[in-house]
Structure 1
């Protein structure tokens, strides 16, 4: 009725205007001009211009009215505007980086040193351009930057160090946005579910932020993990943009294949955004590791409730693992923490049917001192964020274990064989793969000594090698061919190795690798026992002989760690 009433008034106004003296003057004036010989087209142009102006004014007015009065139209305009802005940010950054790299790589230089210096400056410039674009768009772009920053053994240091701010500086969602998401997803607001809800998050990540709250009724202190509400709107667009950027880079720089990075992001991001899956992973991991508390000191916060974008957990706080002052002040042994970390992630990687946590960066791990020791430890290692898990096949776990045993035994031929089996690594790629998986220089990786730590000289050699364009090309070619699950295991290795170095373990890396050896040996022993059971009848002479032989080989590997621990104990109490 309102629309009809408005239409009648508007039509009446037009009819009244037709009889208005000014309208009559315009009409008669127009006729007189035509009769006097003036060009009729001139008046048509004026009318046409007037019509277009009036249409534009009506269009703008209608658009403005709809924008402020119609929520759907308002959201559509805002979405189109924000989408255009995000696309523009990515496009400009991509073009600028391509320009800088093309210019740096196409120039001729007086010396190799001048070339390396120019490439270093180019890496730094492009990394800063990329950082600015990632910060501006936020969301999964922050996640991408964090992944780049963690690849310290695979990418130039100019890139990895520039991305460090993304570990702690992520855009924060407002309390109003969070409350709106609760009402949309759960049909209840924050005030209906919680007695208190701290508006300031204790942690903000690329995909979510965590608030401290107390539940209504039980008054239990909880951690509420809330997904950033805007991700639902822009994740499909951002994934597409990321894919397109790396496809463009693949065309412009075919010698630097990077599409594997966007493929991995695309395959994992939707899993990480489903918090019900994260809750399931957390429960399964907590149940499995309960019997390994003595070896791992692992604590996983208990899941209270879970929805797709909202996760409520028991509140378990702690300090960063690399907070050495906290460790020393509470009498926590750095070497013991290092050993527990090694047990946690090697147990995940080498045990069949156990998922592997694939995002163990510093923000997802914490340590908390205990007033009274539990399971032989005066601390707990808290593991957060169980959104990204992978389940390697049993065959892959076994080939990976055989590779590490061959590496520790310095058996190059077996290393090449098993690298081909579990990671599809060709012989010419093998030296680079060995360096990537150990985090050492190529010459050190091929003659591996577990008792040594990386010297400054080795770090400098690795840095200079990465600045060399040829090595970077080879690394990118390698990463584009190995299976995605192996990439995630490499990433897990990389992150845990970095954490171990941050602990400044006084025992060095030797005990860590002896723990790794123990898990590899157990994996191979289990496979050998299965094969013996398949080949021979139980309790026959041949079966007993093969079982004893396999057991002795396993015990030989285990004894290395026992002897090392006994030597440390004797040194501690008698030297």
Structure 2
């Protein structure tokens, strides 16, 4: 493997030299370098394309991290595609045969030898099962595992060399290399994609926001799928933008129909983001199909993201803060989303708040119908990045997903707007966040939390008192005007004592009045009430005078 990596290193160095990226050449050949200079977005895309399909996939993964890269790089890398010709049928047939314990002609009636799609990791062929069902066979490219393992080793080596630089420490490149390595390895395991597809299919099968019969995720044939081959239901249709151009054959030619399809897509994806917490992270036009029967198909679930309930709640509030142009709230919410393990770097909150205010000013005179949620989220992440705040990778995936969704939606239906589609869902979102799907369970959970708090609080106070009495707790205080503080404490203690006496008089009077009434007991009770009333009036007067004196 070392010899292979060394040979691959030479190929990589040649590409770097060809494009004038001298820093990386020095890093790989001499093992050292100062602060790296990143080439322009266009040159970086060319370098990754020339380095091969694994590096193209790396660029695509980087495009999901607007918290790490400036918008120009994210935009350029988002359009990065592998110009990879399909593998010949002879080699693909060997892979397919090796994945089944029985001859493939006993499983498939026909297999189209010409690939219908080809990517850096796999390619897709159309086939028909013996039962007559049309299916798509996604087959892993021969030898791709060794290529990915080789290039991941180089990623890790480069990250190790960069880790000693300020750049490497600032971006924690070793951790990033591990993250990207795991992502690439996961894409080689089609059983995981099968699980993701099944989960998305299940989530979109029910909804209060749209008709689940109108959107479909392909069914997985689990008994025919494994790590290297994935057999899915064939969806007969065309990419959604082609449906717009060829409306006579597929529909989608009227404004009303296009708007209905756009509404369906936006509601289906916002349910994924804000209700299900599991979402398709790459809804570009090629993964959204308009089917011949009028339904919409969602394909390629290999890239997905997960949002826990806390993140979902914060994101809803962040959308509202953007709509309200509230820079302070945006700052607070971004901090709540930040990675707690990455808070060691100095964060300039005042500068971040000023950046948010500057960004949101762009929307001051803009109606909500023109507000682009994906663009606004991207700008929020960019301001956080510039102020040393790192957000979890799933927030970057969410932003990429929304940007792709809005881009595809507006290209298909120029009149569509995400804010207008989300507005009717807000009431349902608020209800869900306040009381959850089961109000009784939410009330019970809240009651149990209060019970736990009531049990823990005395223990924590007792622990604090024990530490105080044993002198193991040290308090560092700076006291100014100690006499004034002492007078304030004395006054507070006196008022507390008087209020206690007044309360005791009221309780005593109430007890006497509920007992057997005699003239003597009635007189004593009335006396208690009068005394308590006078003490209460005196307490109110002294408190008012004290507050006036403190203000003056």
| TM bucket, shorter chain | 0.5 to 0.7
Identify the match of residue 141 of structure 2 among 213, 216, 228: 228
Which moved further from structure 2: 94-103 or 281-290? 94-103
Contact 2:16 2:25 in 1 (8 A): no
Identify the match of residue 9 of structure 2 among 72, 81, 87: 87
Change (3 A) 1:416 1:232: same
Task: Show the counterpart of 2:538.
Answer: none
Contact 1:334 1:505 in 2 (8 A): no
Contact 1:365 1:381 in 2 (8 A): yes
* Residue 176 (structure 1) aligned with residue 99 (structure 2): no
Displacement of 1:314 in angstroms is 1.6
* Residue 414 (structure 1) aligned with residue 333 (structure 2): no
Contact 2:283 2:404 in 1 (8 A): yes
Contact 1:97 1:129 in 2 (8 A): no
| Mapped partners of 1:261, 1:422: distance in 2 | 19
* Residue 357 (structure 1) aligned with residue 280 (structure 2): yes
Displacement of 1:275 in angstroms is 1.6
Identify the match of residue 314 of structure 1 among 233, 236, 254: 233
1:426-457 deviations in Å (ceiling 9; x for gaps): 5357469969xxxx956436887522257xxx
1:8-39 deviations in Å (ceiling 9; x for gaps): xxxxxxxxxxxxxxxxxxxxxxxxxxxxxxxx
Task: Show the counterpart of 2:81.
Answer: 167
**SS across alignment from 1:222:** strand
Change (3 A) 1:346 1:128: same
Displacement of 1:391 in angstroms is 3.1
**SS across alignment from 1:337:** helix
Change (3 A) 1:234 1:154: closer
**SS across alignment from 1:291:** coil
**SS across alignment from 1:303:** coil
Task: Show the counterpart of 2:314.
Answer: 399
Change (3 A) 1:251 1:282: same
Length-normalised TM-score, structure 1: 0.61
1:243-268 deviations in Å (ceiling 9; x for gaps): 44455566667288483754442232
Contact 2:269 2:279 in 1 (8 A): yes
Contact 2:82 2:120 in 1 (8 A): no
Displacement of 1:397 in angstroms is 1.7
**SS across alignment from 2:290:** strand
Report matched runs for 1:14-413 at 5 Å: 83-94=5-16, 98-99=21-22, 122-133=40-51, 137-138=52-53, 140-148=54-62, 159=73, 166-167=80-81, 169-188=83-102, 190-215=104-129, 217-246=130-159, 248=161, 254=167, 257=171, 259=173, 262-292=177-207, 294=211, 297-304=214-221, 305-323=224-242, 324-327=244-247, 330=251, 331=253, 333-352=257-276, 354-370=277-293, 379-413=294-328
Q: Which runs of 5 or more residues in structure 1 are unaligned?
A: 1-78, 104-118, 371-378, 466-470, 538-575
Identify the match of residue 401 of structure 2 among 492, 505, 522: 492
Change (3 A) 1:369 1:445: farther
Displacement of 1:517 in angstroms is 3.6
Displacement of 1:288 in angstroms is 2.7
**SS across alignment from 2:232:** strand
Alignment RMSD: 4.3
**SS across alignment from 1:254:** helix
Contact 2:66 2:382 in 1 (8 A): no
Q: Which runs of 5 or more residues in structure 2 are unaligned?
A: 27-36, 449-552
Length-normalised TM-score, structure 2: 0.63
Change (3 A) 1:273 1:327: farther
1:163-204 deviations in Å (ceiling 9; x for gaps): 577436334222222222233332445445322211111111
Contact 1:405 1:517 in 2 (8 A): no
| Mapped partners of 2:324, 2:55: distance in 1 | 41
* Number of residue pairs the alignment of both structures matches: 415
Change (3 A) 1:474 1:416: closer
| Mapped partners of 1:433, 1:144: distance in 2 | 30
Contact 2:282 2:303 in 1 (8 A): yes
| Mapped partners of 2:20, 2:131: distance in 1 | 54
| Mapped partners of 1:175, 1:431: distance in 2 | 57
**SS across alignment from 1:386:** coil
Identify the match of residue 501 of structure 1 among 402, 406, 410: 410
Displacement of 1:382 in angstroms is 1.0
Report matched runs for 1:431-510 at 5 Å: 443-444=361-362, 449-452=367-370, 475=385, 481-510=390-419
Task: Show the counterpart of 2:529.
Answer: none
Contact 2:325 2:364 in 1 (8 A): yes
